[in-house]
Structure 1
Amino acid sequence: MIITIDGPSSSGKSSVAKEISKIFDIVHVDSGAIYRAITFLAINFNCIENESNINYKLLTDIIQSKKITFEKNNSSYSIAIDGVVVESKIRNSRISKLVSVIAAEKSIRDYVLIIQHQIASRNSVVMDGRDIGSVVFPNAEYKFYIDASIKERSHRRWTELKEYESNITIENVEKDLMKRDFNDTNRSISPLKIPENAVIINSDDKSIKNVVDEIVVFIKSNS
């Protein structure tokens, strides 16, 4: 079984996907975390001079020498590089600013596509991202698109980031999100869009549980 959940940054798709994976006992693949892990490697191996000058040849060589996986920890899955969980190291504002730039590079997307297909070939999965239902698995059994207003998404992202960066402001978070939305929807390769035949859910004024329940009811009634 393949369940895809797409949507803009901080729409709640990863939190929802995590709960869906527990309910159906399937693997949760957070595609955004894969791109964040790659961005983390790009920073650590000095592949980035600035946003417009990134050494993708070096970065591609580096990620091909690494093993990016999802490790199960109790009932949830965390991103790991060579077996070392890096979840806490990829959730910061610097990576948030750079990840959409790196994710727009074709060589990087091609590499991530291989990882996504390898995982799904061995497991039933719920996978969230921006092009999962439109590009990665266009024929998935169940496809969803979760959206939310920029104000709601900014508040969610700020709440998440302030755990790691106490001085971050919600105004800066909103500015960064708007820039990321523009990059995600206007890139030439696999832009963010609503997949064909996807169920659209607006998560404004809805808890994670509300959205999860809505998805579970749909899947069970259409299985």
Structure 2
Amino acid sequence: MKNTFVITIDGPSSSGKSTIAKLVAAHYKYTYIDSGSIYRAITFLANENKLLNSKEINVNFLINLLENNSISFFNNSKNQNIITLNDVDIEDEIRTSIISNHVSRVAQIDRIRNYVFEIQKKISKDKSIVMDGRDIGSVVFPDADVKFYIDASLKVRAKRRWNDLIVNEKNISLNDVTNDLFNRDKIDVNRKISPLVVPHDSIKINTDNFTIDQVVHKMIKLIDKKIKK
């Protein structure tokens, strides 16, 4: 049996992949890594420095910011990696609609993707992990032990995202969230660097008509078969 095991979970925004990834990681006591939070942290840093206000992001300035600030993780009591900026927990700050609306702009910059790739490799070294994102099974870990692609319809994903946002953003409409997700999908699928694709040899699961627990149960059965080989 292998000493380490890598499970990748890709899919579009609000497909449920992060919630599912956390539960799968908890079941196996593996380290969960939310790769999207790295891009969100970079977007948050860009927003704090007014880089999102212009049509074109000043990439050189953003790279300079990254070189002079520290984006990292700390492992909490649930064995989850919490994203920090200069050792300050920014999990809540990176989940706002402002960050969601701009993160795909930042994520399509090749120098940013290279930066994130190095972080992903570093934090996953010598440990069993569950990592979710857009290009984890296709680019970051193409030889992962098990690869999943979690999908859902735009309508279902928009309702899920709206339910999350309405707690803190009372004026946000379902229509706005739907449009934002539609545009984000278009950027993710069509970007030149690491576009959102269904990874080769991945197991595709549509979550429209299943509960989270049902999806996780199905995935665990499939993973167990791989682990026992």
Task: Pick the aligned partner of 1:216 from 216, 220, 224.
Answer: 220
Partners of 1:148 and 1:204 within 8 A in 2: yes
| Aligned-partner residue type, residue 53 of structure 1 | E
Q: Which runs of 5+ in 1 are unaligned?
A: none
| Aligned-partner residue type, residue 191 of structure 1 | P
Specify the alignment match of 1:120 in structure 2: 124
| Aligned-partner residue type, residue 213 of structure 1 | H
Specify the alignment match of 1:176 in structure 2: 180
Specify the alignment match of 1:60 in structure 2: 63
| Aligned-partner residue type, residue 180 of structure 2 | D
**Percent of aligned pairs sharing the same letter:** 45
TM-score by length of 1: 0.96
Q: What SS is found at the alignment partner of 2:124?
A: helix
Specify the alignment match of 1:80 in structure 2: 84
Q: What SS is found at the alignment partner of 2:199?
A: coil
Mapping 1:29-178, distance limit 5 Å: 29-50=33-54, 52-75=55-78, 76-178=80-182
Q: Deviation string for 1:73-113 (max 9, x for gaps)?
A: 33133211122110100111111111001100000000000
TM-score by length of 2: 0.94
State the shift of 1:123 in Å.
2.2
State the shift of 1:4 in Å.
0.3
CA distance in 2, matches of 1:49, 1:165: 21
Specify the alignment match of 1:14 in structure 2: 18
State the shift of 1:125 in Å.
1.0
Q: What SS is found at the alignment partner of 1:151?
A: helix
State the shift of 1:60 in Å.
0.8
Q: Which runs of 5+ in 2 are unaligned?
A: none
| Aligned-partner residue type, residue 201 of structure 1 | I
Are 2:213 and 1:185 aligned?
no
CA RMSD of aligned residues (A): 1.1
Would you say how many aligned residue pairs link Structure 1 and Structure 2?
222
Partners of 1:29 and 1:70 within 8 A in 2: no
Specify the alignment match of 1:3 in structure 2: 7
Q: What SS is found at the alignment partner of 1:74?
A: coil
Partners of 1:26 and 1:124 within 8 A in 2: yes
Q: Deviation string for 1:132-181 (max 9, x for gaps)?
A: 00001100111000000001000000011112211111110000000000
| Aligned-partner residue type, residue 62 of structure 1 | L
Partners of 1:47 and 1:56 within 8 A in 2: no
**Deviation larger for 148-157 or 204-213:** 204-213
CA distance in 2, matches of 1:203, 1:79: 27
State the shift of 1:65 in Å.
2.3
State the shift of 1:17 in Å.
0.6
Partners of 2:15 and 2:207 within 8 A in 1: yes
Q: What SS is found at the alignment partner of 1:128?
A: strand
Q: What SS is found at the alignment partner of 1:219?
A: helix
CA distance in 1, matches of 2:60, 2:32: 29
